[in-house]
Amino acid sequence: MPPWSRRSAVPPLTPYFVMRVGQTPLLPHAAPGDAGQARERERQDHGPVVSGGSVRAAVDAAVGLEEVCAPVLALGDRPARLPTEEEAGEPAGRYGSCWGGE
């Protein structure tokens, strides 16, 4: 699927995703073992690569990403009601998540 926007491959389908994962950029393809992959959150054709302040935080981010991707894939081309910038911004700000802007 093409990325949802320039800043996030995945749309803000749920408040949990905005709060716990945040924007998830889709980056260009790179060969396996590329040193830059370790710093990125999502690499085209490689699946998710997450990080966090702890192993638990990284696992929580990976689970949150997987949980929002399932309904995104199930929706396909059908429209979904996504939160507005203001609606997404409130939980993002409260939980220190990176979300906002196009």
Catalytic positions, written as ranges: 16
Q: Which residues pair with 47 in a beta bridge?
A: 43
- Report which residue type is found at 2: P
DSSP H or E segment with residue 16? helix 15-20
DSSP structure string for 40-89:
-SEETTTEE----SSHHHHHHHHHHHHHHHHHHHHHTTS---PPPHHHHH
